[in-house]
Structure 1
Amino acid sequence: MGEGVMTGQERRVLALACAGTFVVIMDATIVSVALPDIRSGLGFSAALLPWVVNAFTLAFAGFLLLGGRLSDVFGQRRVFVAGMGLFTVARLVCGFVGSPELLLAARAVQGFGGALLVPVTLSLLITTFTVPKRRTRALGLWSAVGAAGATAGPVIGGLLTQWAGWRWVFFISVPIGVVTVAAALSVLPPRERPAVRARLDLAGAGMSTAGLVGVVYAVMRSSAVGWTSPEVLGSLGGGLVLLAVFVVHQGRWARAPLVALSVLRLRTVSSGNVVMLLLGLGFFASPVLLSLYLQDVHGYAPLRAGLGYLPVGLAMFVGAQVAGPLTVRLGARRAAVLCCLVGALGCFAMTALIGADSSYAVSVVVPGAVFGFGTAAAFTPITVAATGGVPPEQGGLAAGLLNTVRQTSGAIGLAVLTTLSAAAARSWAEDHPHSGGSQAPHALAHGYTVAFAVSSAWIAAAALVAALTMPRPPSGSTPAPPAAPPSSRGAGATGQDTDAAAAAERA
């Protein structure tokens, strides 16, 4: 069989991984559209409504590292089935609940299920696809499905909410979950019982989860109460202290570390995660910023704004499809640099073109398509790099680590950019006292211009860091990812949860 032709087993595993990624990524954007109807249907208060999103996001971000490690300890089949099963049952419960408290509890369980599921989907791909060319192609397809989920969410959510009711945004993915669990039990082989049972670092899991939850909670609350609030500073400080103790624990005290620090000494892993951090800061806020720009500045209804994002989403899908062959041809380093530069160019063009008097085609469609194509394509080579050279038994860990970086960077980027946008709008209104205030279209447009300018700078920084730190392929070899082991998400896999968080704050 040729190097580029997938085997039947590889195609089945790819389908499972794509299904898992699709439902988790689609969840964030599909739920955000239904928030106003959920508020009226269950009697949520304005203060409590954002927690429909936040409960999921906190559980998801907090347990990603543990989820990745669990797949290494207990096997990919068990963790995939457990993650998809929890996620699906929780969504079914969400559709039937009759009180805000039950919905929030079910959303937290759903977030935990997603934290188990997402790292193992990438781990499955990299352990199954041992031929570099086929692995890179699989990662590109997986990223494209993630982009499709992120794009489809607002459209499907708007249609379901309008025509069938908000409960159907939860019911819609239940059949996918049931079929995927049954297929996983049939397709994925049981894990052979190891001679020595692997240990699980429960103390480290507790510290990392609590620390990540503290940091992400502080970032999410900052947009509502401000960065100087004692609530935000206390949560952020406590989370950072716990994470610092966690690192010391992993290096000195833990017998079986949750995160083997030796993995971070691999240049591919450390550089890939830094590049992902910078790209996530600039990329994951874009759907929210564009949606708010279309609604606040041009007066679009939420569903129309969701449809308005479709050209960007389609460009993301195409970019993710192109990323695999491009990474094989250029190598992970050069492909990551090129794609980040294209994404930064598109984002900078949006910075220059958006405005209260700009047309939708000029300010969103053309520059947004360039931005979406470049940034979505960048995830595949970065993922290839960040998982290269990792031993197979640490594949889940690498996946969980990369997903954690992506999720946290997305939350931080969204909070910082929305705060900057609001501050810039106020400043513009103060300089133009007869403009109508900080909520006037021209003031808001100026705020979004500043936000996109910072986004483009972060994405350009990702290109620079990739060029300086990611290793070059060995001279004389065909650029391709290392033929070893496993890790985490490409284009759409859940930084989109942070997008829904901002939508929840607005609702």
Structure 2
Amino acid sequence: MGAGTEAGTGRSAERREQLTRRAGSTRRDRRTRPARGGERLVTGLACAGAFVVVLDATIVSVTLPAIRAALGFSPAALPWVVNAYTLAFAGFLLLGGRCADVFGHRATLLTGAALFTAGTAACGFAVTADVLLAARVVQGLGGALLMPVTLSLLTTTFTEPDRRARVLSTWSAVGAVGAASGPVVGGVLTQWAGWRWVFFVTVPIGVLCLVGAARGLPRYDRAGRPSLDVVGAALATAGLTGVVYAVMRAAVAGWTSPQVMGPLAGGVVLLGILVPHQARWARQPLLALDLFRLRAVSSGNVVMLLLGLGFFASPILLSLYLQDVHSWSPLRAGLGYLPVGAAMFAGARAAGALTLRFGPRRTSVACCLLGAAGFTGVAASLGADSSYPLTVVLSGVVFGFGTAAAFTPITVAATGGVPSARGGLAAGVLNTVRQTSGAVGLAVTSTVSAAAADAWADAHPGRGGAHGASALAHGYGVAFLVCAGCVAAAALVAALAMPGPVPDSPGTAARSG
């Protein structure tokens, strides 16, 4: 009897302690969450941050010839104007997401915006190739802090499913506009104002983000918050950097080159060490592995990986097709992508309502299937004499709408129900998967395109060689077929693995996880 009483008393005390900790956590979350009147500011900051990060990843591509002429880049070094940004961005995304949880949204956004804006301005004022590359690295670091915190801000501020879906569709639409407008804006500014204005144009937006975050976001309550896992951060950053570097290098040196295999093996080993470090050795791990026990998180990231493999290479493939096969100028090719960009914006805007009506799983499946159909249409219609309306406008609009609409339900699934204390981590993981899948997808499709063009030229001697228009068109067609397969696989995984409705609030996941 006494033992039972003592056991019951112990359980009651333990239960009271758990409730006290949960109540304290809730009070801290409320103190650090913006009031309803500040939700517009949160949305504006998140969309502005995402816009400049995505825009600067695409706006530079059409300015490379002008930059090479001005700063004396060698042909081998010129691609690193793009790669330096991408490498820093992808390598530090996971750390950036965790920083939002450890140091708070306000501090992380201010630091990220300051680094990004300073790096952007330095790019515009660069007088040597080395200075420009260093500034691009600083830009990438700032972007790696900005992108996860913009998503984490939204998922922790808007906890109701309908409002979260709508605001995430707006966030995705703004990102789609940034991706689609980059080549166009870059071409116009380079031709009419000079390449330096490609960088200067986003500086005012960065300054506005700094002012808005400093004045409008609440300060972070550090009571009871985790510390940063420095060892885990070093392993994750170095491992991701090695893998992404190897993937980018593979498009030039080949997958069997020591320049590729060395960094790839090193990155994989470091990421392999990261797993037991997080599971056994770290007191407060950077990457809490139990997060992936949530079915929505694990399946959402796999679907995002497959979608990214197929989608993110498509703007570059279409631009190269129009320039290499049809001899369009970079500016004209950028303008030619506008119908696809408009479809992406429409798809991203419609995704919120579709997700609310049909749920994340069914919306993801339907949108990915639509995207796969569009990619298949592009692959089937590409040719040396193909018409622009059939190839780009018709099929491109289909895959643009479908794939852009798929990002919102996948994001809702992969971040829905995640405890607020891990919102930044979930956002960092998802953005890392997106960025890494984009780099891998571009490397794979570039390799496939070149190999298919060579094979076609060997099978059709005397018809222009591997660099003839027909051979190049065939290579790009095969690459788009690979894109279609990846996006169709994303639809299949979503249908089989993604759960139905996601939890309504962070607390649900905390209790079920």
Q: TM-score range by the shorter chain?
A: over 0.9
Q: CA deviation at 1:8?
A: 3.7
Percent identity between matched residues is 67
Aligned counterparts of 1:389 and 1:127: Cα–Cα separation in 2: 10
Aligned counterparts of 1:431 and 1:32: Cα–Cα separation in 2: 33
Aligned counterparts of 2:222 and 2:276: Cα–Cα separation in 1: 31
Give 1:28's match in structure 2, choosing from 54, 57, 64. 57
CA deviation digits over 1:74-127, x for unaligned, max 9? 100110111011100110111111111111111111100000000000000011
Aligned counterparts of 1:408 and 1:307: Cα–Cα separation in 2: 27
Aligned counterparts of 2:68 and 2:255: Cα–Cα separation in 1: 27
Structure 2 residue 213 is the aligned partner of structure 1 residue 184: yes
Equivalent in the alignment of 1:429: 457
How has the CA–CA distance of structure 1 residues 481 and 295 changed in structure 2, closer, same or farther, with 3 Å as cutoff? farther
Structure 2 residue 175 is the aligned partner of structure 1 residue 146: yes
CA deviation digits over 1:234-266, x for unaligned, max 9? 111111011011111111111110000000111
Conservation of the 8 A alpha-carbon contact between 1:384 and 1:481: no
Give 2:193's match in structure 1, choosing from 143, 147, 164. 164
Q: CA deviation at 1:351?
A: 1.0
Q: Which amino acid aligns with 2:388?
A: Y
Q: CA deviation at 1:197?
A: 5.1
User: What are the equivalent positions in structure 2 for 1:314-329 lying under 5 Å apart?
Assistant: 314-329=342-357
Structure 2 residue 505 is the aligned partner of structure 1 residue 483: yes
Give 2:272's match in structure 1, choosing from 241, 244, 247. 244
Q: Which amino acid aligns with 1:212?
A: L
Structure 2 residue 154 is the aligned partner of structure 1 residue 125: yes
Aligned counterparts of 1:300 and 1:314: Cα–Cα separation in 2: 20
Q: CA deviation at 1:286?
A: 0.1
Equivalent in the alignment of 1:217: 245
Equivalent in the alignment of 2:72: 43
User: What are the equivalent positions in structure 2 for 1:87-106 lying under 5 Å apart?
Assistant: 87-106=116-135
Aligned counterparts of 1:481 and 1:344: Cα–Cα separation in 2: 29
**For structure 1, which runs of at least 5 residues remain unmatched after alignment?**
1-5, 474-479, 486-507
Equivalent in the alignment of 1:273: 301
Aligned counterparts of 2:112 and 2:246: Cα–Cα separation in 1: 26
Equivalent in the alignment of 1:284: 312
Secondary structure of residue in 2 paired with 1:293: helix
Equivalent in the alignment of 1:256: 284
Conservation of the 8 A alpha-carbon contact between 2:59 and 2:198: yes
Structure 2 residue 433 is the aligned partner of structure 1 residue 405: yes
Structure 2 residue 345 is the aligned partner of structure 1 residue 301: no
CA deviation digits over 1:134-183, x for unaligned, max 9? 11000000000000011111111111111111111110000111111101
Q: Which amino acid aligns with 1:385?
A: A
Q: CA deviation at 1:484?
A: 2.4
Aligned counterparts of 1:409 and 1:113: Cα–Cα separation in 2: 20
Of structures 1 and 2, the one with the larger relative CO (CA 8 A, separation 6+) is 1
Secondary structure of residue in 1 paired with 2:506: coil
Q: CA deviation at 1:193?
A: 3.3
Deviates more, 1:48-57 or 1:426-435: 48-57
Structure 2 residue 96 is the aligned partner of structure 1 residue 67: yes
Equivalent in the alignment of 2:22: none
Q: CA deviation at 1:198?
A: 2.2
Q: CA deviation at 1:184?
A: 1.1
CA deviation digits over 1:181-233, x for unaligned, max 9? 10111221111231x45221111111111110110000001111111101101
Q: CA deviation at 1:7?
A: 4.9
Give 1:471's match in structure 2, choosing from 469, 490, 499. 499
Conservation of the 8 A alpha-carbon contact between 2:50 and 2:150: yes
User: What are the equivalent positions in structure 2 for 1:355-370 lying under 5 Å apart?
Assistant: 355-370=383-398
Conservation of the 8 A alpha-carbon contact between 1:331 and 1:481: no
Aligned counterparts of 1:411 and 1:297: Cα–Cα separation in 2: 24
Structure 2 residue 468 is the aligned partner of structure 1 residue 440: yes
Aligned counterparts of 1:456 and 1:193: Cα–Cα separation in 2: 46
Aligned counterparts of 1:131 and 1:403: Cα–Cα separation in 2: 22
Equivalent in the alignment of 1:494: none
Secondary structure of residue in 1 paired with 2:59: helix
Conservation of the 8 A alpha-carbon contact between 2:236 and 2:270: yes
Q: Which runs of 4+ in 1 moved over 4 A?
A: none
Equivalent in the alignment of 2:86: 57
Equivalent in the alignment of 2:6: none
Structure 2 residue 159 is the aligned partner of structure 1 residue 137: no
CA deviation digits over 1:405-427, x for unaligned, max 9? 11111100100001000000000
Equivalent in the alignment of 2:404: 376
Conservation of the 8 A alpha-carbon contact between 2:155 and 2:416: no
Q: Which amino acid aligns with 1:227?
A: W
CA deviation digits over 1:434-490, x for unaligned, max 9? 1110111110111011101111010000000000000123xxxxxx663228xxxxx
Q: CA RMSD in A?
A: 1.3
Secondary structure of residue in 2 paired with 1:90: helix
Aligned counterparts of 2:372 and 2:411: Cα–Cα separation in 1: 19
Conservation of the 8 A alpha-carbon contact between 2:96 and 2:428: yes
Secondary structure of residue in 2 paired with 1:331: helix
Aligned counterparts of 2:266 and 2:458: Cα–Cα separation in 1: 36
The alignment's TM-score, normalised by the length of structure 1, stands at 0.92
Equivalent in the alignment of 1:492: none
Conservation of the 8 A alpha-carbon contact between 2:160 and 2:504: no
Aligned counterparts of 1:44 and 1:357: Cα–Cα separation in 2: 35
Equivalent in the alignment of 1:226: 254
Equivalent in the alignment of 2:15: none
| Rg larger for | 2
CA deviation digits over 1:2-21, x for unaligned, max 9? xxxx9542222111100000
Equivalent in the alignment of 2:230: 202
Conservation of the 8 A alpha-carbon contact between 1:354 and 1:364: no
Q: Which amino acid aligns with 1:374?
A: G
The alignment's TM-score, normalised by the length of structure 2, stands at 0.91
Secondary structure of residue in 2 paired with 1:95: helix
Could you say which structure has the higher helix fraction? 2
How has the CA–CA distance of structure 1 residues 481 and 166 changed in structure 2, closer, same or farther, with 3 Å as cutoff? farther
Give 1:311's match in structure 2, choosing from 336, 339, 361. 339
Aligned counterparts of 1:120 and 1:8: Cα–Cα separation in 2: 20
Secondary structure of residue in 2 paired with 1:317: helix
Conservation of the 8 A alpha-carbon contact between 2:103 and 2:222: no
Q: Which amino acid aligns with 1:280?
A: G
